[in-house]
Amino acid sequence: MKLRILSVGSKMPKWIDSGFDEYHKRIQPMLTAEIIDLAAAKRAKNPSDANLAQYREQEGKAILATHQSNSREKLWVLDVKGKMLSTEQLADKLSEAMQIGDDVALVIGGADGVSPEVLAAADFKWSLSPLTLPHPLVRVVLMEQLYRAMSINNNHPYHRGN
């Protein structure tokens, strides 16, 4: 199974890159994972609702163009309204995808969310938390949870949940 994280935005603070890189390095023996940074739409200082919709649409086109929809790559989108999973449930979901032979493209949308087109194309909508998290921090939390889920699937002692 190959996992690609399609993330809108770039130029992360060093501490974000450091945290992400640590878990990315740890997960590699268990799962091939890569991050693909997609350019965020250029934003106005005081955007209107119409501007925000344009930003989501522009970023959504980049997400859908990068997603390999003609392959076995499933599109999982992080969305606050998505399904919440425990780490064990995430481990099961990843295990199921691996057994079927699916690859996964996991989307971290832009600062203003994802477009309706991306949500409509999603095979799975996942909420990390009902909290509003800064997009850079989501990268670290996401990679840590993927690592934790894969450690469960590989009987690694990292996860100490009940």
**CA geometry: angle 116, 117, 120, nearest 5 deg:** 85
Q: Is there a domain that residue 161 lies in?
A: no
Query: Per the annotation, where are the binding residues?
Result: 78, 109, 128-133
Q: What pLDDT does 59 receive? A: 96
pLDDT in tens, 11-69: 899 999 999 999 999 999 999 999 999 999 998 899 999 999 999 999 999 999 999 77
Domain count, the chain: 1
**What digits encode the pLDDT tens for the residues 90-134?**
999 999 999 999 999 999 999 899 999 999 999 999 999 999 888
Asked if pLDDT for residue 158 goes beyond 90, the answer is: no
Whether residue 21 is contained in a domain is answered as: yes
Average pLDDT rounded to a whole number, residues 79-89: 95
The domain containing residue 127 runs over which residues?
Answer: 3-42+49-154
Q: What is the DSSP code string of 35-76?
A: EEEEPPPP--SS--HHHHHHHHHHHHHHHHHHS-TTTTEEEE
- Binding-site residue positions for S-adenosyl-L-methionine: 78, 109, 128-133
162, pLDDT greater than 70: no
**Which pLDDT does position 38 carry in this prediction?**
96
CATH of the domain at 123: 3.40.1280.10
